[in-house]
Amino acid sequence: MASREGSAVGNDSHTVPVTVVVHSQPHAPAVHHSPGSSLPFTGAPLEALTAWGVAVTVVGAAVVTTLRRRRPGSRSAL
């Protein structure tokens, strides 16, 4: 760095005050969850949920059908 000559002074410097006004935080910070993140992942793919739901429904319907079929048989046995 060269020095100045004549009436000029050494390195010049200006200080600028900077202000920020924080009014309020508009909403909670957005947090993205995904499998493998540090937060526990409790969700399951929608397709899987749908498949289980269908399976349970089908099983339930089969049980009801079986019970209904056995009742007439039992009566005749009596």
Partner 1 sequence: MIRLSRPRAVASLAAAAAVLVPVAAMADSSTVPVTTVVATGTRTLNVTDPTGAAIGASGLPLGAGHGGALLVNVTDLNYQHAGYQVSATMTNLYPWAGTTYDFNGTPIPSSAISVGYPSNLLDLVNVKSLVDPVIQLTGSVSVGPVGLGLPTAINQTVDGTTSSVQTLADQVTQSTLASALAELPVTLGTGETGSFDAPAALPGEPTAHPNPTSKVLMSGTAQDPATAALVSALQSTYGGETAAQLVAAGLLDQNAVISAVAQQLGITPDLLSASDITSIMSSLTGDITSIVGSVLGQSGSYNTMPTLSINVPSSASAGVYRGQLVVTLMDT
35, 41 contact by CB (below 8 A): yes
Q: How far is the CB of 42 from partner 1 (least distance, A)?
A: 24
Work out whether 24 is an interface residue with partner 1 (CB under 8 A): yes
Number of residues that bind partner 1 (CB under 8 A): 25
Residue with tokens 């269908």: 54
Q: Closer CB to partner 1, residue 5 or residue 47?
A: 5
Are 39 and 31 in contact, with CB atoms under 8 Å apart? yes
Which positions lie near partner 1, rule CB under 8 A?
1-8, 11-25, 28-29
